[in-house]
Amino acid sequence: MTQSTRKPTVLIVPGSFSHASFYTPIVDQLSAQGYEALAIDLPTVGRREDGPAPTMADDAAHVHSVAVKFVDEGKDVVLLTHSYGGIVGTESANGLAKADREAAGKKGGISRLIYLTSIVPPVGGSLASTTEGQADLGFLKTDGDYMYHDIPKSLPYTLSDLPEAEALAWAERTPQHSAVSFTGELTYPAYKYIPVSYIVCEADKILTPSFQREMVGRIAKESGRDVDVHVCNTGHCPNLSAPEVVVELVVNAIEKDL
């Protein structure tokens, strides 16, 4: 395999309330297929008592710092984002687009964004503004600067396609999440400069398929390029309910560039 067709590194940007370990099945299956893969723990996930609650910008800066290490090694990187991770991954790509780096005579860069049922606001938009009136987040409760899941109410939404006992076990591992992160505004529209794939989850009870397709339509309109759309019949967290399906679709999207 030549340098130009070498498999990219896949960096996973988790959704809110999600540790990197929630994506281990995807990482392991991508690794088994010869991909370097890593899920990134976000600063906003988990309560912190040593300072203010982290922001979306803090998350994006952290993802950027991880991605730039691979990019500076001359590697191509694919960002696979999930839910809230869509805005984080988009923001984090500032300065790392492969096309921009090639134009500057540099190797490596972010070669594709793969949005898995992700929230992708326009510039100036946030998770809160983008989902207002669109997503049912009534199962979220606040505790100071942090949010947590009201587990009995959240299960039919977050883990709708897992057996009840398994869903409950995962829900009980769900940490708190910074409340202020949901108001962080996007400043860099990476989807205008980096090819985009979007995986629509048709059984998602939080971000409805119509909402996801609105994201696809706006990305296509703003970027002036077609979005590579894939579909799976899963709920909001296929990283847990159907990781093998996610991996198959991710690999299909990546192979378009090889």
* Active site positions, annotated: 204, 236
d(CA 114, CA 238): 14
CA angle 172, 139, 113 (to 5 degrees): 80
d(CA 60, CA 62): 5
Residues 6+ apart with CB under 8 A from 53: 44, 145, 146, 178, 179, 180, 181
Q: How does strand 196-201 pair with strand 177-178?
A: unpaired
d(CA 186, CA 183): 10
Q: What ranges in 104-204 are assigned the alpha helix state H?
A: 127-131, 151-158, 164-171
**Residue 165 dihedral angles phi and psi, to the nearest 5°:** -65, -40
